[in-house]
A and B are shown apart, each in its own frame.
Chain A
Amino acid sequence: MQRRQFNKALAGAAALAAFPGLVRAQSQKLKVGVILPRSGYLGFIGQSCQKGADLAPGVIKEMLGVDIELMNADFESNVDTARTRAERLIQEGANVLVGPFDSGAAAAIAQVAEQRGVPLVINIAAAPQITEQGYKFVFRNFQTAGDIVRNGLDLIGDLFRATNTVPRTAVYMHVNDTFGQAMTKGIQAMLPMRTQLPFKIVDTIGYDPAAKDLTVEVSKAKAANADFLLLVCRLNDAIILRREMVKQRWNPMGIVSPGSPGMYEEQYFKTLGKLSEYSISNVPWYNPRAKLTQVVEKAFKKQNPKDNLVFHGLNAGFTFEACLIAADAFKRARSIDPKTLADAIRQTNITEKMMLGGPIKFNAKGQVEGIGSACVQNLHLLPTVVLPASAATAKPVFPAPYYKKT
């Protein structure tokens, strides 16, 4: 070896010793533990979220030039399983966790993440308390139940104005789980303050999220003789409920969700066909005009040739963004050290995003603020944005055509 070659090698070795994190980050992959309910009663939605995670390695490599490796885990729609799966992902070397769609599971995984000091980026879970615990490793890029309800109720007001309707009464039905209860608290707190909304809730009916039969619940709701159904649901129960409404010949002005999954999911359309029409969900939604959406849509089509992003936009979009947040932090931190990664996530400022709303920035509690919602109505067997007018691709239909005042 010549003297110059030796000096170069020495300089390189010195750089390695001085900046080990840099070398590690460049040579290592970020291991992202994706934990979702891919089976059980939330299975469809979990699988829909998984499609967003599956896009992440390819799209992120092109966008940011960093490698991420997914470690997938199914928590079977069971909170206890979520906790053990999270533990196992961390044991197996996950540098960051992404998931889990469900608030109950998110609360359980957040405890594990905090105890083990591994960052958790929540894709979808709305219970406010998750980011109210003073956790240092828990981050959420999704609206809290309060935000969902606030935006959802405001959009209901917009819906009535846009359709010149004045419903006076609503019957409120909700899944009786962590998410449903958080939404109920939000509605009970905010509805009385929204004087522009003309309706009163005449009955509140909670039901088991894994219910197999909703005969009694629908009988009770029908007996309330309300103008419309305000619904906080999941997917399977929304399908059962819609069928039961037809069996019991209950035709209110419409079914309006102030912000819950279920009625815009592909399975809702597949299972119910025409019966899925006119259901309305006011939910955080993706911006079809955003550059990133177009990139994601292209990759989605390539990976899922038989699928349409519109049915997975919310689930896949937020899950993809959660992976993006982790990868972006990894790129800036140049390290897989959990604490360094968590600090980098805290400094996130992503402006090129897919979902509606402002940039992805976490507040001191680890919560992104300013995520937008849209009024999405099922029209021609597709979830279609009908409000706000700036993002709408069709006009809202309310009351639903089958409605007849008795």
Chain B
Amino acid sequence: MGFDLVANVIIAGVLTGLVYGLMALGLSVIFGVVRVVNFAHGEMMTLAMYAATVLFAAFNLDPFLAMIPVAAAFFVLGYALQAGLINPFVTRPEHSQFMLLVAVAIILVNAMLMIFGPDARNVQVDYQLESFEIGRILVDKARLYSALAAIIASFALFVFFRFTLTGKAIRACADNYLGAKVVGLNVKRYYALTFGIGAACVAVAGCAMVLLVDVTPPLGPAYTLLAFVIVIVGGLGSMGGALLGGVLIGVSEALAGLFITPSAKGMFSFGLLILVLLFRPQGLLGRRS
């Protein structure tokens, strides 16, 4: 097995993993602050992928440019969802939250089926079938650009939470619900903001992903599961962990496909998940609760 083959596969795994990581980052941020697990996460990403295909078909808008309006729309959607629907459930038992978000997921999948039908859709941009050639290594342009977009979005999110007042306030709400209320923070509003940010994050990931994968409504549940695997491996609530988890899953799937059998790719993500749960249940970069 040649070096170039292994290198090509690892690079593809890392690049895809970064986009996975951005998707999982949204889930991790929402859970880290609101303490609600978004079971409609993959479905929201699928919706963002459809939004990108619609904008491309209607205005020939490149998915990378579509990230801005789609993220903005998803921020509003996420904010409204948290403010109007999820906030009343924040203090309710976990199974109520679970059922609520599963219901949202089912509604989203069926709405997409009704609106877009079962057909696979994609965007056809000029660079989609092109690759950069570095010696004997080929790097898929669309995958590289998507990964760069994921890195930029993750960095922006990190800066927001670390250095802005709103970001710090959100972290305060996450660290100490009662304390945040005592100092006068409108916790419910910050929860809604956080959900909006998580939704915008998944919208950016969806716009990047549509360049790599054709979209169909049933993709949603598969991505929800994948996002869970990634955040559990990386550490639920950890931003760096989500990215690391995404890359690890991307690379392990790619290497399993190369060295064992492509049919067993998915199996390795779950194998990795079991190992992490056994030996580091808080995730690779997660903190012990």
| Partner-B contacts on A (CB < 8 A) | 38-41, 43-44, 76, 176, 205-208, 211-217, 219-220, 223, 236, 239-240, 243, 246-249, 267, 271
Do B212 and A236 touch (CB < 8 A)?
Answer: no
Q: Is the CB–CB distance between A205 and B262 below 8 Å? A: yes
Contact B257 A217 (CB under 8 A): yes
Decide if B266 touches A240 in the complex (CB within 8 Å).
no
| Docked CA distance A215–B129 (Å) | 12
Pick from B2, B138, B214, B216: contact of A247, CB under 8 Å: B138
> Looking across the interface, which residue of chain B has its beta carbon closest to that of A209?
B263
A223 to B8, CA, bound (A): 11
Task: Indicate whether B218 reaches chain A with its CB closer than 8 angstroms.
Answer: yes
Q: Which residue of B lies closest to A180 (CB)?
A: B263
* Bound complex: CA A215 to CA B11 (Å): 11
Contact A41 B263 (CB under 8 A): no
Which among B128, B214, B263 is the interface contact of A212 at CB below 8 angstroms?
B214
Residue of A44, A176, A215, A247 touching B130 (CB-CB under 8 A) = A247
Measured CA separation A41–B119 after assembly (Å): 8
Which A residues lie within 8 Å of B1 (CB)? 223
**Contact A220 to B2, CB < 8 A, known contacts A41-B216, A43-B118, A212-B214:** no
Identify the B interface with A (CB < 8 A): 1-2, 5, 8-9, 12-13, 16, 113, 117-120, 122, 128-131, 138, 140, 212-214, 216, 218-219, 253-254, 257-258, 261-263, 265-266
A214 to B129, CA, bound (A): 14
Contacting pair B118 A40 (CB below 8 A): yes
User: Which residues from chain A contact B261 at a C-beta distance below 8 Å?
Assistant: 205-206
**With the chains together, A208 CA to B219 CA distance in Å?**
14
With contact pairs A213-B213, A219-B5, A239-B214 given, residues A247 and B140 touching in the complex (Cβ less than 8 Å)? yes
- With A219-B258, A236-B214: A246-B12 Cβ-Cβ less than 8 Å: no
Given A39-B113, A208-B262; 11 other pairs, CB 8 A cutoff: A38-B118, A40-B216, A40-B218, A214-B262, A215-B16, A219-B8, A220-B257, A220-B258, A223-B1, A236-B214, A243-B128
Give every chain B residue within 8 A of A213 (Cβ-Cβ).
Answer: 16, 212-213
Question: Which residues does chain A contribute within 8 Å of B138, judged by CB atoms?
Answer: 247-249
Picked from B130, B140, B219, B262, the residue with its CB within 8 Å of the CB of A216 is B262
Q: How far is the CA of A348 from the CA of B119 in the complex (A)?
A: 37
How long is the Cα–Cα vector from A41 to B120 in the complex, in angstroms?
Answer: 8
**Contacting residues, chain A, for B13 (C-beta < 8 A):** 216
Query: What's the least CB distance linking B191 to chain A, in Å?
Result: 33
Q: Are A247 and B129 in contact (CB-based, < 8 A)?
A: yes
Query: Which residues of B sit under 8 angstroms from A208, Cβ to Cβ?
Result: 262-263, 265-266
A212 touches B219 (CB 8 A): yes
On chain A, the residues within 8 Å of B212 by CB distance are 213
Question: Residue B118 contacts which of A39, A206, A246 (CB distance < 8 angstroms)?
Answer: A39
* Bound-complex Cα distance A288 to B262 (A): 40
Instruction: Give Cα distance in the complex from A271 to B129, angstroms.
Output: 13
In angstroms, Cα B264 to Cα A176, docked, is 10
CB distance B131 to A247 under 8 Å?
A: yes
Q: How far is the CB of B145 from chain A (nearest CB, A)?
A: 13
Q: A236-B214, A247-B130, A247-B131 are known contacts. Are A220 and B118 too (CB-CB below 8 A)?
A: no
**A216 vs B119: C-alpha distance when bound (angstroms):** 25
How far does the Cβ of B195 sit from chain A's closest Cβ, in whole Å? 27
Please indicate the chain B residues that have their CB under 8 angstroms from the CB of A236 in the complex: 120, 214
How many angstroms from the CA of A211 to the CA of B138 in the assembled complex?
A: 21
A44 & B262 in contact (Cβ 8 Å cutoff): no
Known contacts A216-B9, A247-B129, A240 near B214 by CB under 8 Å = yes
Chain B contacts for A44, CB-based, 8 A: 119-120
CA distance A236 to B258 in the complex (A): 22
A213–B265 CA distance with the chains assembled, in angstroms = 11
Minimum C-beta distance from A47 to chain B (A):
8
Taking the closest CB of chain A, its distance from the CB of B61, in whole angstroms, is 20
Bound state CA distance, A247 and B16, in angstroms? Answer: 15
How far does the alpha carbon of A40 sit from the alpha carbon of B217 in the complex, in Å? 8
- For the complex, give the distance between the alpha carbons of A219 and B131 in Å: 13
Query: Which chain B residues lie closer than 8 Å to A215 at the CB level?
Result: 9, 12, 16, 140, 254
Cross-chain contact of B119 among A43, A76, A217, A249 (Cβ < 8 A): A43
Nearest CB in chain A: distance from B118 CB, A: 3
Q: Are A249 and B257 in contact (CB under 8 A)?
A: no
Chain B residues with CB under 8 Å of A217's CB are 257, 262
Task: List 6 interface pairs A-B (beta carbons < 8 Å), by A numbering.
Answer: A40-B118, A207-B263, A212-B214, A216-B258, A219-B5, A220-B257
Chain B residues with CB under 8 A of A271: 122
Give Cα distance in the complex from A211 to B219, angstroms: 11
Q: What is the bound-complex CA distance between A246 and B130, given in angstroms?
A: 8
Contact of B5 among A176, A205, A220, A240 (CB under 8 A): A220
CA distance A170 to B69 in the complex (A): 47
In chain A, what residue has the closest Cβ to B209? A212
Q: Is the CB of A206 within 8 A of B214?
A: no
- Inter-subunit contact B214/A249 (CB<8 Å): no
List the 6 closest pairs (A to B, CB-CB), nearest first. A39-B118, A216-B257, A43-B118, A176-B263, A212-B213, A215-B12
